[in-house]
A and B are shown apart, each in its own frame.
Chain A
């Protein structure tokens, strides 16, 4: 053994984000060619007459999306708690998404380095154990 690293995952890679959304059963929309963003319509419960719009790079449905924060380089969830209708709370949704994002990114990167997947297990605590190896 040589080292252990602990990494806090950030959603920075658009392709891995789109793959992860599909893995958790969502159908992400990305802008058509020529448009840079999609407008989400959010409800504003304190001012019902106002429906603010937010421009996002990736959307799922009409009121959930991901906006790239140019300062951090990471995609951030934009959603409306009033209209959130998925079967898990927003926080759990983000955990599931981030876990699949990390999984897709690791798969892609290790394969590029010539590693092969030896084992992949979903554990009782909902973590994923992934072992990769190569001969060098």
Chain B
């Protein structure tokens, strides 16, 4: 099913840019924006949110472990 990918740019008064990638999980969000970032200039800071680390396989593993622990208790 197609998913909506959104990027929000804030171009500050001094011309420097903050970019927020929304709804693109894992490393796909980097692939999406990296070449735009390179064309714009020098990357000063990159902050990842939780869903960057939650690629689908890892996410399923986490759920299984937690459930088993709950049952034992």
Q: Looking at chain A, what size class is its interface with the partner chain?
A: 35 or more
Considering only CB atoms, which chain A residue lies closest to B29 in the complex?
Answer: A2
Contact B17 A129 (CB under 8 A): no
Q: Within 8 Å of chain B (Cβ to Cβ): is A134?
A: yes
Q: Chain A residues near B36: list those with CB within 8 A.
A: 105-106, 109-110, 113
Partner of B20, one of A1, A99, A118, A133: A1
Q: Known: A4-B46, A6-B43. Is A99-B6 also a contact (CB below 8 A)?
A: no
Q: Chain B residues near A135: list those with CB within 8 A.
A: 2-5
Number of A-B contacts (CB under 8 A): 151
Q: Chain A residues near B30: list those with CB within 8 A.
A: 3
A132 to B23, CA, bound (A): 12
A106 to B18, CA, bound (A): 12
Q: Chain B residues near A134: list those with CB within 8 A.
A: 4-5
A interface vs B, CB < 8 Å? 1-10, 12-13, 94-95, 97-99, 101-103, 105-106, 109-110, 113, 115, 118, 125-136
B interface vs A, CB < 8 Å? 2-26, 29-30, 32-33, 35-37, 39-49, 51-52
